[in-house]
Amino acid sequence: MRLSLKVSRISSANYGVRRLITKYGYDVFFTIAVMCLAVIAGSYFFIEQPFLRHLIIAVALVLFLFALNFFRDPDRKIPKGNNLVLSPADGTIVAIKNVLESDFLKSDAVQISIFMSPINVHVNRIPVGGTVAYFRYVQGKYFAAFEEKASLDNEQTHIGIDAGTFKVFFKQIAGFLARRIVCTAKVGDPVTAGARFGMIKFGSRVDVFVPKNSDIKVAMNEQTIAGETVLAVVPEQKVA
């Protein structure tokens, strides 16, 4: 009985760690955690000067807390409703404009761009339920993610979802600090609105393209929450 209870507590603790830290960042987070622990231990035992020792320990703690904050993965309340396009990212709306989307929608569309700062949650979520019908990885540069040219020139992944009566296209775009895009979505995968599918490490941007006649529900400089904020509502329509 005691052994069973102990195993249960250990399992619960491990589950808590998994829920706290995104699986997409285990490698980086635990590398940083071990490095910080080693620096703190080394400073405590081998640096005699108090000021320098405390400074190094403080820097290591700040780095650890930054990593903990960056790789956190909170649960979200997914809104219910028909034809909702949810935000795939936490961040700030930096662009809302009419464009011609020629990769997947192949029609006029509204582009909604979200800038993710290093302090935002960086786990990305599926904006609309359906089937992944398009995927492409694009090599590129690393301009600051809030700059408009980042949408065209930076490293990015392109994902298109067929929701049945409409399509949505979105891009994970690397920023100045981001050097790795994680995306688990593959062509043919069935997906659910609000489900986790990847992340962009250390600052980034997400562009979402919805049909032109969509009812846009956000405004410039508005803060978004991945899986909760409704970006747009798409009228019923037939997909060509």
Closest CA to 78 of 16, 19, 126: 126
pLDDT of residue 20: 82
Strand partners, 207: 113, 171
List the pLDDT tens digit at each of the 240 positions of the chain: 343 333 333 333 344 444 688 888 788 889 899 999 999 999 988 998 999 999 999 999 999 998 888 888 999 999 999 999 999 999 999 999 999 999 999 999 999 999 988 889 989 999 999 999 999 998 866 665 556 665 666 788 999 999 999 999 999 998 665 557 889 999 999 999 999 999 987 768 899 999 999 999 999 999 999 999 999 999 976 545
Catalytic residue among 43, 87, 204, 214: 204
pLDDT of residue 71: 85
pLDDT of residue 49: 93
- Which tokens in the block code for residue 19? 């829920």
pLDDT of residue 214: 97
Closest CA to 130 of 86, 153, 163: 163
Closest CA to 116 of 152, 142, 143, 89: 89
**What would the CATH number be for the domain defined by 84-233?**
2.70.70
If one counts every other C-beta atom within 10 angstroms of the C-beta of residue 5, the result is 9
Closest CA to 171 of 214, 116, 222: 116
b/e 200-226 (16+ beta carbons within 10 angstroms → b): bbbbbbbbbbbbeebeeebeeeeebbb
Q: What is the DSSP letter of 63?
A: H
Closest CA to 192 of 145, 227, 230, 229: 227
Active site annotation includes 113:
no
pLDDT of residue 92: 96
Query: Where are the domain boundaries for CATH 2.70.70 in the chain?
Result: 84-233
